[in-house]
Amino acid sequence: MPSILSHVAVPIAGRVALGKSAVLPSLFALGLLASCIPDADVALLRLGVPYDSEFGHRGASHSLAFAVLLAAAMAFTWARVTKLSAGGPFLYLLVCAASHPLLDTCTNAGHGAALLWPLSGERYFAPFRPIEASPLSLRRFFGEPGLRVLVSELLWVWLPSLLLGALYAKRRRRPNAA
């Protein structure tokens, strides 16, 4: 998996692209959370749930169905509290939540992500897997393996995300931009 440090690149790039007036601070905080929540399943490993189980790491919580449900719950709760529309926030949160398993499919290790759960428990990888998988151990993460992960994430997650966000923001600010 990419490290937790890089799963937040998508909500950050989304806020850059859409602007602070469209992605209010409270919505931005939810976007950051939505991009990280799927990895809460790592705690289940400590409770004895096998990695390759339906509810193990990269299982149900890494499905597109989970991303839709998470984004909907967050968007409608946010809209109720703020008295604002849920439509745009739902789309922002859906991109944030769905980016997590999609990024995980681009890593060079692990068991893939159960993108189509509950329809299928099959784990998927992207055909192109350039992202160095982050070690689950903090001790290993703060060593040479972690440094390789961070360099890989900078190149394959952060630079493309922020570049796309900045290009969209520039286009959005242009007069007569369609």
pLDDT digit string, tens, across residues 7-30: 999 999 999 999 999 999 999 999
d(CA 94, CA 77): 14
Q: Which of 98, 99, 113, 103 is nearest to 152 (CA)?
A: 103
Q: Is residue 157 part of a domain?
A: yes
Residue at 178 is within a domain: no
Any domain includes 150: yes
Cis ω before 118 (30° cut-off from 0)? yes
Average pLDDT rounded to a whole number, residues 68-77: 99
Q: Is 175 domain-assigned?
A: no
The percent of residues in the chain predicted with pLDDT above 90, rounded, is: 78
pLDDT reading at 77 higher than 60: yes
To the nearest 10°, report the CA torsion of 66, 127, 53, 37.
-40
In the predicted structure, residue 178 carries a pLDDT above the cut 70: no
pLDDT band at 122 (very low <50, low <70, confident <90, very high): very high
Evaluate whether residue 9 is within a structural domain: yes
Helix (H, G, I), strand (E, B) or coil at 89: helix
Tell me the whole-structure pTM to 2 decimals: 0.91
For residues 68-92, average pLDDT: 98
* Residue-range definition of the domain harbouring residue 49: 4-170
What pLDDT does 146 receive?
A: 82
**Number of separate domains in the chain:** 1
With respect to residue 176, please indicate whether it lies within any of the assigned structural domains: no
pLDDT value at residue 136: 67
To the nearest whole number, what is the mean pLDDT of the chain? 93
Q: What is the pLDDT of residues 132-155, one digit of tens each?
A: 988 767 777 778 888 899 999 999
Position 131 confidence tier, pLDDT thresholds 50, 70, 90: very high
